[in-house]
Every structure is written in structure tokens, then in C-alpha cells.
Amino acid sequence: MPVSPRLPHNLLCYLRVRQMRPFSLSTSTRPHPGAFQTIGVFTLITGIKGIRLRRATAVAITSGALIATGALTAAPAQAVTAPSIGAKGGYVMNNGSGSTLYTKAADTKRSTGSTTKIMTAKVVLAQKNLNLNATVTIQKAYSDYVVKNNASQAHLIVGDKVTVRQLLYGLMLPSGCDAAYALADKYGSGSSRAARVSNFIGKMNSAAKSLGLKNTHFDSFDGIGNGKNYSTPRDLTKIASSAMKNSTFRTIVKTKSYTAKTKTKSGGTRTMGAWVNTNGLLKSYSGTIGVKTGSGPEAGYCLVFAATRHGKTVIGTVLSSTSITKRESDATKLLNYGFAKLG
């Protein structure tokens, strides 16, 4: 069949389906570089000006391949099996799009322990004209509070002046309830400490409502509540996702260890013992960027987690796990699953 001179580059290409047969591709029969190539189930006949017409059976698709519409279909992606976790509740989402990747009792209300402090930090960082270098004098009431409740603490010294930035590290790394109390006292409004703390907790609830969360309520600034401090895996994940939009928050929650230098009553400098982040995933899971642990008699062991790999961020929550090891194992499974789903 003659080659039409009107075809671009004097190239004629006929594609016809034939039964696939075993074949070998020797050096002498290798297709010309200018020829199109396609999969073995097709025979491609090519003609190029100056080269005699010949048949070439190809085995790979190159950028010059001609694919007939509907002739080739991609193999479906292999389904990713959802993991089994020990935690009573879990939720994972794509932090970029907000789409859900995994759920387990994701909307069941549960005690949240110190994961509550994510909202504490969020409320502080949302204050107008916030000065992170402003100082707070540590009161005896803060120390008495952690002793009374046998609570986790940053071991702040009564009378020391500590910056707001340092208090945020003390809040999020060692999960200091003394730091939480100091921040609530600083940023709540009222003529008494009790009034200021109550006002601050009100701000936490207002922030939850502004995010559209209907299954979350706070009755404490640190998670040590009176039976009305609760959230869900889905809601906590959304709170954390919102908090992670703040650069200061992101910097703090991915920090493994922090040493604060505070001012003493006499004006000297005190170097505090290092505050170590309680989030073990920062060491065990590559790409982890936060965010907060929690535990308690009612809450069990909780973890709000986030990690970034290949430009994609997965964020999620496990509530009411049975141990520190189990909550980290559950979170690891969910992160792996989330990234596998994203591809």
C-alpha cells in the first residue's frame, strides 16, 4: 500500500489486533528509533520516508506510542486492607483535603486526657496581639494543683518568671498541667483566678463551636475534668489540624526536647531540666510532625498524631488504647494505612 505524501512526516501507521504469539526481539529486528512501539498484543506497521515498510512487534510503550481509544485499560489498583487497632476509637484523614481515610467509632464521645491541651495551646495562640515573650510569674496555686491531682507537670518553680513561649513548650512536651494552669490564668478574663480559668475554658468551647464540632466539650484547661471533658477521634483530629496551621504550634509539637531558661525571684537565670516530648512517634516513625499524647483513668491512653511523607500529610487520633506501647502501635498502623491509601 503506498504511503500518502499528505500524512505528517510521511508516516503511515496501521494498528491491528492479532493473537499474541511468543516472539524474540533480536538486535537485527529491533524497531527503528523513529517507529512507534506498543504492547505485544498489537502489531504496529510503520512506514517512514526513506526506510522500507516493515512490521515490528514491540514489547513496551514509549512516549511515541499510539494507543487506540479503549484498546488498553489500566489494571485496577490493589485494595489496601484497613488495619485492626486495639484502641476503642480511631480516625485518620488527609490533612490536605480533609477527606476521611479511616474510622473506628470516630464519633463516639470519650474522655480525652491531656490531648485537651491541643485546644489550650490553640486558644492561647489565637489571642490578639499575642506576645510570646511576655512573662508569667509562677504561682503557688499552680504547684498545689498538680500535687493535689498527681498530674503531669513541667516542674515550674514558684516565683520564677517564665515566657509564654516557654509555657507552651512546657504544656505540649512534658504535658505540664502547671503550665496549662498558668496559661489559663494569664489569658482568661476576670477579677479572680477562678473566674479567669472559667473564662478561658469558655474560650476553648467557643473555639470548638467555631470549628463546627458538636461532639466536643471542655470543662478543664488540661484534661483533668469533672465528667464533662470529652471529644471524639474525628473532632480531636479536626482540632489538631486547625492548630497545625499555626507555625509556632507546629514548631513546638515536633520538638523532641526543650530546655527553658527562666528568671528567678532574685533576677538570676535558672536552667530548667530538659522537657522531653511524650510523643514517642517523633523517634519511632519517620516523618512525624506532632502532635499530643494523653492518658488518664477514664481516657485510657490517647494519641493525636501527624506525619508528612512525599509532600502528603496524614493526621489522626486514637482514643482509649490500653498502654503507651499500644497507642503508638495503633497510630503507626493508621499512619501506614493512610499513606498507602494516598498512594
HSE of 45, CA atoms in CB hemisphere, 13 A: 11
How many residues does this entry show for the chain? 343
Q: Which among 114, 220, 241, 295 is annotated as catalytic?
A: 114
Longest dimension (CA), the chain: 101
Active site residue 175: yes
Cis peptide before 291 (omega within 30 of 0): yes
Q: Are 167 and 275 in contact (CB under 8 A)?
A: no
- Distance between terminal CA atoms of the chain? 48
Which of these, 88, 93, 115, 119, lies nearest to 104 by C-alpha position?
88
DSSP 201-268: HHHHHHHHHHTT-SS-B-SSSSS--SS--EE-HHHHHHHHHHHTTSHHHHHHHT-SEE--EEEPTTS-
Distance (Å, whole) CA 189 – CA 193: 9
Distance CA 154, CA 152 (A): 7
Of 175, 242, 295, 329, the active-site residue reads 175
Q: How do beta strands 89-94 and 288-296 pair?
A: unpaired
Helix (H/G/I), strand (E/B), else coil: 26:
coil
| 318/110 Cα distance (integer angstroms) | 11
Catalytic residue among 104, 111, 117, 152: 117
Residue corresponding to grid cell 528567678: 264
Spatial separation of the C-alpha atoms in residues 222 and 296, rounded to whole Å: 11
Catalytic residues: 114, 117, 175
